[in-house]
Structure 1
Amino acid sequence: MDFIPVVTSIFTLFILIGVGFVAFRMGYITRSGASGLSSLLVNVAIPCLILESMQVPLSEGLIYSMEMIVFIEIVVYVVSFIFAGIVPLLLHGSRFETGVLRFMLIFSNLGFMGYPVAYAMFGEASVFYVTLVNLPFGFLVFTVGVFLLRPDLARQPDIKRIVTPGLIASILGLVLLGTGLTIPSPINESISLLGSITTPLAMIVIGTFLAPLPFFEMLSDTRIWIISSIRLLAIPAVVFLLISPFVHDPLLLGIPVLLAAMPVAANTVLLSEEYGVNAELASKGVFISTLLSLVTIPLISIFLLP
Structure 2
Amino acid sequence: MDFFVVVNSIIVLFILMAVGYASYKAKIINRSAAGGLSSFLVNISLPCLIIISMQIPLNEEIFANTMEMFLIAGIYYALSFAFALIVPKFFVKSDLERGVYRFMLVFSNLGFMGIPVTIAMFGEEAAFYTSLFMLPFGLLVFSAGILMLRPDMGKYFDKKLILNPGIIASLAGLLFFFTGYSIPEPFFNVIDTLGSMTTPLAMVVVGALLAAMPIKEMFSDTKIYIMSAFRLLVIPFALFLLLRPFVDDPLMLGIPVILAAMPVAANAVLLAEEYNVDSNAASKGVFISTLMCLATIPIIGILLL
User: Mean alpha-carbon deviation: is it higher for 280-289 or for 87-96?
Assistant: 87-96
* Structure 2 partner of 1:119: 119
Tell me the equivalent position of 1:33.
Answer: 33
1:255 aligned onto 2:255: yes
| CA distance in 2: counterparts of 1:61 and 1:7, whole angstroms | 35
Cα distance in 2, alignment partners of residues 204 and 171 from structure 1: 28
Bigger drift between 49-58 and 290-299 goes to 49-58
Give yes or no for the alignment of 1:67 onto 2:37: no
Aligned to 1:47: 47
Q: Partners in 1 of 2:57 and 2:92 — Cα distance?
A: 46
* 1:187 aligned partner: 187
Runs of 4+ that moved beyond 2 A: none
Match of 1:21 in 2: 21
Point out where structure 2 has 5 or more consecutive residues left out of the alignment. Answer: none
Q: Report deviation, 1:2.
A: 2.9
Give the AA of the match of 1:279. S
Q: Hey, what does 1:276 align to over in structure 2?
A: 276
Q: CA contact under 8 A between 2:49 and 2:192: conserved in structure 1?
A: yes
Structure 1 counterpart of 2:117, one-letter code: V
Q: What do the CA deviations read for 1:195-226 (whole angstroms, capped 9, x no partner)?
A: 01111111001001100111111111111100
2:130 aligned residue: 130
Distance 1:212 1:177 in 2: 41
| Residue identity opposite 1:29 in structure 2 | I
- For the residue of structure 1 that corresponds to 2:47, the secondary structure is helix
Q: 1:145-185 CA distances to partner (integer Å, 9 max, x unpaired)?
A: 01100111111221034411111000101110111111111
In the alignment, which residue of structure 2 is the partner of 1:242? 242
CA distance in 1, matches of 2:65, 2:107: 22
| Counterparts of 1:187 and 1:193, CA distance in 2 | 10
Counterpart residue number, 2:197: 197
Instruction: Look up the equivalent residue of 2:248 and give its one-letter code.
Output: H
Shift of residue 123 of structure 1? 1.6
How far, CA to CA, are the matches of 2:57 and 2:129 in structure 1?
A: 14
Q: Normalising to structure 2: TM-score of the pair?
A: 0.98
Moved more, 90-99 or 70-79: 70-79
- Counterpart residue identity of residue 76, structure 1: Y
Q: Distance in 2 between matches of 1:182 and 1:57?
A: 9
CA offset at residue 14 of structure 1? 0.6
Secondary structure, in 3 states, of the residue corresponding to 1:15?
helix
RMSD, aligned α-carbons: 1.0
2:285 aligned partner? 285
Alignment map for 1:89-108 (pairs within 5 Å): 89-108=89-108
- 2:157 & 2:210 partners in 1: Cα distance? 31
Q: Distance in 1 between matches of 2:162 and 2:291?
A: 33
Equivalence for 1:86:
86
Distance 1:23 1:263 in 2: 24
Amino acid at match of 1:193: T
The residue that corresponds to 2:302 in the other structure is: 302
Partner residue, 1:154: 154
Alignment partner, residue 213 of structure 1: 213
> How many pairs are equivalent?
305
Residue in structure 2 matched with residue 170 of structure 1 by the alignment: 170
How far apart are the structure 2 equivalents of 1:47 and 1:7? 28
User: Which residues of structure 1 form unaligned runs of 5+?
Assistant: none
Q: How much has 1:81 moved relative to structure 2?
A: 1.2
Q: Please report how far the alpha carbon of residue 62 of structure 1 lies from its aligned counterpart in structure 2 after TM superposition.
A: 2.9
Asked if the contact 2:39/2:270 (under 8 Å) is kept, the reply is yes
What is the identity percentage for the equivalent residue pairs of Structure 1 and Structure 2? Answer: 56
Q: Distance in 2 between matches of 1:217 and 1:150?
A: 24
Q: Which stretch has the larger CA shift, 13-22 or 78-87?
A: 78-87
Q: Aligned partners of 2:153 and 2:61: how far apart in 1?
A: 40
